[in-house]
């Protein structure tokens, strides 16, 4: 084991993050630009150069066929599976069949497996950690959705190997979140984790008893996520456009990425605004004339169009509660995990379903990586530290093929892991030489609806009359949730001649080929004139309520009479906002967390944060709204002043500038 | 966390312990007690507790012991399984539940459907006393459980309206436990359905 710290990595469908223990606590490691989340996107350029993360995301419009996103939707799946067919319609890059019916992506005549793409993201996260600690980080705990099957887990482990990371453990995302929530608190509670990610949904119910975190039920949908909500917005825009112009934007590959990007931003804005405008000038040409897309999306319409998706999450919740033998009212807490749960739509629906307010103390984007880091330290740390013990379960039935297209279950879903079960098999023919068993994982007894993990063949046992041979087969599921099969001839006690071919595992040769191919690519970073621009959210009080503008400002000067705001990521002209109309603006870390910033600044703080330095003040603005922040001596200067916004329990970095003209009075706040 | 010697001692005796003894609980323990016991034993034997020590012997032993702990918890925490386990224990207190041999169709065999019921009568040797097809006046505790597996298969097939498969499976179940009222009942239902389908033609 190296001396570099072990890290936890959340390899998400849309975004990834890495965390470790430093500065006395488990924290997210930001990259050199200060980003705490890295988009899980790879963009291929010339001469084997690749862009990873934010830089790659910017290439989605310029280079759609070579910019790969949401690879997690494909990893460990077969090309013919229905989920992959659906994904192909949403993703602008091309999927082809690789070896063994696996998926491959074709770029510049080269075929890449989803493991290789994921490895590039993992390597980037590894580099972030390495840069932070000054020595190479080689060990990590990686998270996967609870409902990932054996193929998907194994493929994720292979991706780590290709990236030069030793995956100490693969843990389930909801379990990691529960760990981050309860670690060191000595709780005795039953909690539900509602984890809606970019592409997957999991519900896990855990019992927390002091050090022990036991999963008592898990249910999920590995093809339902935030991306689906974006799709609904795309549909709404496209239908509207179709009615007006008879052109279906969804059939135009160049239009899709722009449409998707705008849909995603609109979805986020609805978390802090009642309605938002989607405006894309010149999205298509008709008779040589550019046509604009203009669509106003309200919360109400969005809620209506996504009812079925939300209902699907609750169908999963019903199943989880049923397995646990609990009613929603018997839960002590509900925790929301995953970027998409920041939608106010989801928060309200969950509050209504569970009959209680989901907890909001933690950052849904970061909690999984923090949990992984805690587990990483738990596995490798010294004995003297108080360690949490995670008792997880396998999400799917493990079975073998049997008569009539059914599978017979050897290990049931929701069995604790690690676990071992065995069956004794015998022969049907005299002197039978081999025994062939096909292994499946699924929620359902029908073979065709389960995933085949592989086939194994046992030979070399003592030849005998039919029915006399006794071969004991051991099926075990290890702590990673990965299936291992071994066998023993009961007569002789030998395990000779066993050939196990589990579908998704890459053999050593393929792995080293992939690693070599991966190492040939160089990651580069884009130079951007927006790099030093500050991301801001500006509050402009208006007749109907507050309007929040977000964008980039170069050479920020609060004293100027006008702020020049560039919209995110584009080269269009800046929008000018007069500062006399502004109440305040926050210089923030990332636009994904705008609702949390706004909430932190305008809601009455619920509890004292231990690191409060300086006096907390409440500022009442002329329109009756409030702003909270820490400042040593508030001086109502001519223009305004900088204050430290109050972020309870959170790590949202940012500074707030309050314009004096809007302030009516200020009061120190004491608890 | 236990020392290597302690782990070895536990490993040497655990094979002869009942599920209750493994979890160190009374036979009338409540579900909460069972969960508390599982947590307690997990803190002692879960392989993660031995991960950092980097001692492969301890690690392997803990894995073997923990597998038994999990098995005990799995059986006792599920009402149906616990009932069945208690029944078996009372029937033959000294017998640990054994596994039964099943035949696997050869790679060349084409019709799995006909293979299955055949093996139950022919493929397993007469002198294998654990065979599910041994005909005995009263099934012993060790083999009574086998019937339930085929009963479940019969139920699944029935639900999918595959009455032929259901019939085959219930017959195997009845072979292990010919006086079980549930099986007999279900067998009747299947016969009724099959007759219905015949008369429809």
Instruction: Write the pLDDT tens digit of every residue in B133-156.
Output: 222 223 333 444 567 777 888 888
Tell me the average pLDDT across A475-486.
88
**Contact between A28 and A18 (Cβ < 8 Å):** yes
Contacting residues of B for A435, CB less than 8 Å apart: 104, 106
Q: Which of A504, A413, A488 is nearest to A452 (CA)?
A: A504
Top CATH class of A7-224+311-391 equals alpha beta
Tell me the average pLDDT across A124-143.
96
Cβ–Cβ gap B116/A425 under 8 Å = no
A209, A387, A437 member nearest B104 (Cβ): A437
- Do B121 and B189 share a structural domain? yes
Cβ–Cβ gap B1/A383 under 8 Å = yes
Q: Is A221 a catalytic residue?
A: no
Residues whose CB is less than 8 angstroms from the CB of residue A668 and which lie 6 or more positions away in sequence, other chains included: A615, A616, A617, A618
Intervals of chain B under pLDDT 70: 93-146, 199-201
The structure tokens listed for A417 are: 């892991």
Residue A273: burial class (beta carbons within 10 Å; 0-12, 13-18, 19+): buried
DSSP calls for A381-413? S-TTS---EEE-B-SSEEEEE-GGGBEEEEE-T
pLDDT at A447: 60
Residue A354 pLDDT grade (very low, low, confident, very high; cuts 50, 70, 90): very high
Residue A346 pLDDT grade (very low, low, confident, very high; cuts 50, 70, 90): very high
pLDDT at B133: 25
CA distance A26 to A21: 4
- Do B86 and B139 share a structural domain? no
Report pLDDT digits (tens) over A616-633: 888 899 888 888 888 776
Report pLDDT digits (tens) over A419-435: 989 888 777 777 777 77
Report pLDDT digits (tens) over A530-562: 777 888 999 998 887 888 888 888 888 888 889
CATH of A397-500, one of 3.40.50.1980, 3.40.50.2300, 2.60.34.10, 3.50.50.60: 2.60.34.10
Report pLDDT digits (tens) over A446-466: 666 678 888 777 776 667 777
Which CATH code is given to the segment(s) A226-307? 3.90.640.10
DSSP letter assigned to residue A318: H
Angle between helices B163-176 and B181-200 (to 10 degrees): 150
Tell me the average pLDDT across A217-236.
91
CA distance B144 to B138: 9
In-domain check, residue B97: no
In-domain check, residue B104: no
What is the residue-averaged pLDDT of chain A?
86
Q: Which residue bears the tokens 């003040």?
A: A617
What share of chain A has pLDDT > 70, as a percent? 91
CA distance A398 to A409: 6
Q: Which of A80, A58, A79, A76 is nearest to A67 (CA)?
A: A58
CA distance B154 to B114: 16
- Do B86 and B10 share a structural domain? yes
Q: Alpha-carbon dihedral of residues A504, A509, A510, A515, nearest 10 degrees? A: 120
In-domain check, residue B161: yes
**Chain B CB within 8 Å of residue A389 CB:** yes
Interface of A with B in 450-469 (CB under 8 A): 465-468
**Chain A CB within 8 Å of residue B36 CB:** yes
In-domain check, residue B107: no
Which of A31, A55, A57, A72 does the annotation list as catalytic?
A72
Residue B18, domain extent: 4-91
DSSP calls for A179-197? HHHHTTS--EEEEEEEEE-
Tell me the average pLDDT across A268-275.
88
Tell me the average pLDDT across A289-311.
93
Q: Alpha-carbon dihedral of residues A448, A174, A393, A473, nearest 10 degrees? A: 50
Residue B29: burial class (beta carbons within 10 Å; 0-12, 13-18, 19+): middle
Total domains, chain B = 2
- Do B119 and B79 share a structural domain? no
- Do B192 and B150 share a structural domain? yes
Ranking A213-217, A239-243, A663-667 by mean pLDDT, the lowest is A663-667
Map out the domains of chain A as residue ranges.
Answer: 7-224+311-391, 226-307, 397-500, 534-668
What share of chain A has pLDDT > 90, as a percent? 43
- Do B138 and B189 share a structural domain? yes
- Do B70 and B129 share a structural domain? no
**Chain B CB within 8 Å of residue A429 CB:** yes
pLDDT at B201: 46
- Do B80 and B123 share a structural domain? no
**Contact between B42 and B69 (Cβ < 8 Å):** yes
CA distance A473 to A470: 10
Q: Is A72 a catalytic residue?
A: yes
Interface of A with B in 242-281 (CB under 8 A): none
DSSP calls for A155-184? HHHHHHHHTT-EEEEEEEHHHHHHHHHHTT
pLDDT at B115: 25
Please identify, among B55, B75, B91, the residue that sits at the C-terminal boundary of a domain.
Answer: B91
The strand pair at A545-553 and A534-542 is best described as: antiparallel
* pLDDT winner (highest mean) among A160-174, A469-483, A501-515, B3-17: A160-174
How many other β-carbons are positioned within 10 Å of the β-carbon of residue B129? 12
Q: Is A195 a catalytic residue?
A: yes
Residue/partner pairs of A510-516 with CB below 8 Å, 24 or more apart: A510/A99, A511/A158, A511/A161, A511/A162, A514/A113, A514/A115, A514/A116, A514/A119, A514/A158, A514/A162, A515/A119, A515/A161, A515/A162, A515/A164
Does the pLDDT of residue A156 top 50, yes or no? yes
In-domain check, residue B64: yes
pLDDT at A206: 97
CA distance A604 to A627: 9
DSSP calls for A365-383? TTHHHHHHHHHHHHHHS-T
For chains A and B, count residue pairs whose Cβ atoms are closer than 8 Å.
133
Measured between alpha carbons, how far is residue A430 from residues A427, A491, A499, B106 in Å? 8, 16, 22, 11
Does the pLDDT of residue A642 top 50, yes or no? yes
Which of A55, A173, A202, A366 does the annotation list as catalytic?
A173
DSSP H helices in A462-593: 508-519
| ipTM exceeding cut-off 0.85 for this assembly | no
Please identify, among B33, B57, B91, the residue that sits at the C-terminal boundary of a domain.
Answer: B91
pLDDT at A260: 87
In-domain check, residue B176: yes
Which residues share a beta bridge with A144? A172
In-domain check, residue B99: no
- Do B129 and B81 share a structural domain? no
How many other β-carbons are positioned within 10 Å of the β-carbon of residue A653? 15
- Do B121 and B86 share a structural domain? no
Tell me the average pLDDT across A6-13.
96
Report which secondary-structure segment, H or E, holds A11. strand A7-11
Q: Is A480 a catalytic residue?
A: no
């Amino acid at each position: 084991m190296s001396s570099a710290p072990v890290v936890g990595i959340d390899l998400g469908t849309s975004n990834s993050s890495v965390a470790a223990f430093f500065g006395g606590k488990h924290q997210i490691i930001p990259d050199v630009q200060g980003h705490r989340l890295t988009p899980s996107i790879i963009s291929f350029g010339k001469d084997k150069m690749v862009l990873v993360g934010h830089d790659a995301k910017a290439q989605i419009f310029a280079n759609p066929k070579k910019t790969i996103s949401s690879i997690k939707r494909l990893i460990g799946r077969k090309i013919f599976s229905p989920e992959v067919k659906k994904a192909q319609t949403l993703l602008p890059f091309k999927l082809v069949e690789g070896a063994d019916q696996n998926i491959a992506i074709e770029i510049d005549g080269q075929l890449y497996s989803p493991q290789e793409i994921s490895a590039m993201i993992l390597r980037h996260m590894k580099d972030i950690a390495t840069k932070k600690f000054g020595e190479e980080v080689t060990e990590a705990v990686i998270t996967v959705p609870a409902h990932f099957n054996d193929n998907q887990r194994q493929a994720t482990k292979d991706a780590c190997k290709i990236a030069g990371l030793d995956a100490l453990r693969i843990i389930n995302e909801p379990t990691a979140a529960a760990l981050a929530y309860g670690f060191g608190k000595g709780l005795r509670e039953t909690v539900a984790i509602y984890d809606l990610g970019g592409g997957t949904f999991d519900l896990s119910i855990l019992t927390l008893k002091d050090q022990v975190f036991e999963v008592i039920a898990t249910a999920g949908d590995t093809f339902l996520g935030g991306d689906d909500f974006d799709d609904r917005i795309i549909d709404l825009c496209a239908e509207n456009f179709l009615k007006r112009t008879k052109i279906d934007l969804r059939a135009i590959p160049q239009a899709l990425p722009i449409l998707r990007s705008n849909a995603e931003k609109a979805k986020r804005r609805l978390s802090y605004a009642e309605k938002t405008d989607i405006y894309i000038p010149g999205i298509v040409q008709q008779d040589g004339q550019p046509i604009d897309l203009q669509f106003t999306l309200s919360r109400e319409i969005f809620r209506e169009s996504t009812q079925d998706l939300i209902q699907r999450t609750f169908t999963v919740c019903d199943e989880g509660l049923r397995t646990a033998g609990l009613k929603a009212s018997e839960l002590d807490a509900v925790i929301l995990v995953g970027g998409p749960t920041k939608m106010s739509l989801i928060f309200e629906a969950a509050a209504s379903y569970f009959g209680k307010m989901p907890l909001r103390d933690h950052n849904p984007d970061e909690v999984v990586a923090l949990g992984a880091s805690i587990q990483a330290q738990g596995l490798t740390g010294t004995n003297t530290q108080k360690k949490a013990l995670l008792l997880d379960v396998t999400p799917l039935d493990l079975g073998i093929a049997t008569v009539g297209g059914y599978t017979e279950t050897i290990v049931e879903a929701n069995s604790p892991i690690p676990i071992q079960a065995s069956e004794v098999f015998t022969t049907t023919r005299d002197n039978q030489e081999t025994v062939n068993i096909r292994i499946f994982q699924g929620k359902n007894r029908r073979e065709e609806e389960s995933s085949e993990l592989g086939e194994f063949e046992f030979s070399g046992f003592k030849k005998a009359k039919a029915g006399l041979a006794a071969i004991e087969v051991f099926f075990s599921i290890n702590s990673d949730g990965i299936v291992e099969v071994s066998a023993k001839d009961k007569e002789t006690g030998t395990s000779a001649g066993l050939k196990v071919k589990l579908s998704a595992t890459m053999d050593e040769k393929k792995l080293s080929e992939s690693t070599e191919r991966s190492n040939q690519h160089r990651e580069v970073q884009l130079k951007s004139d927006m790099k030093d621009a500050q991301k801001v959210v500006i509050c402009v009080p208006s007749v109907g309520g507050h309007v929040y503008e977000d964008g980039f400002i170069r050479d920020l000067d609060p004293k100027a009479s006008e702020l020049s705001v560039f919209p995110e990521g584009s080269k269009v002209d800046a929008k000018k906002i007069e500062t006399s109309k502004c109440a305040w603006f926050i210089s923030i870390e990332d636009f994904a967390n705008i609702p949390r910033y706004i909430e932190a600044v305008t809601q009455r703080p619920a509890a004292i944060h231990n690191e409060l330095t300086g006096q907390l003040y409440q500022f009442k603005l002329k329109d009756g709204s409030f702003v909270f922040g820490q400042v040593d001596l508030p001086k109502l200067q001519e223009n305004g002043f900088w204050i430290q916004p109050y972020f309870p329990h959170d790590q949202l970095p940012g500074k707030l500038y309050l314009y004096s003209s809007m302030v009516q009075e200020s009061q120190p706040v004491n608890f | 966390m236990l020392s290597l010697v302690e782990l070895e001692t536990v490993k040497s005796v655990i094979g002869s312990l009942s599920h209750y003894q493994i979890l160190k609980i009374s036979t009338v323990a409540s579900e909460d007690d069972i969960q508390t016991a599982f947590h307690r034993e997990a803190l002692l034997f879960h392989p993660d507790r031995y991960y950092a020590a980097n001692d492969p012997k301890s690690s392997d032993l803990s894995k073997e012991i923990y597998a038994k702990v999990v098995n005990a918890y799995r059986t006792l925490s599920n009402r149906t399984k616990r009932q069945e386990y208690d029944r078996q224990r009372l029937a033959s207190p000294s017998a640990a539940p054994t596994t039964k041999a099943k035949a696997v169709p050869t790679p060349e065999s084409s019709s799995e459907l006909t293979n299955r019921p055949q093996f139950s009568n022919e493929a397993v040797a007469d002198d294998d006393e654990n065979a599910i097809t041994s005909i005995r006046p009263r099934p012993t505790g060790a083999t009574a459980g086998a019937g339930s597996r085929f009963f479940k298969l019969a139920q699944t097939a029935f639900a999918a309206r595959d009455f032929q498969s259901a019939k085959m499976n219930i017959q195997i179940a009845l072979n292990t436990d010919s006086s079980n009222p549930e099986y007999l009942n279900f067998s009747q239902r299947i016969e009724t359905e099959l007759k219905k389908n015949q008369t429809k033609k």
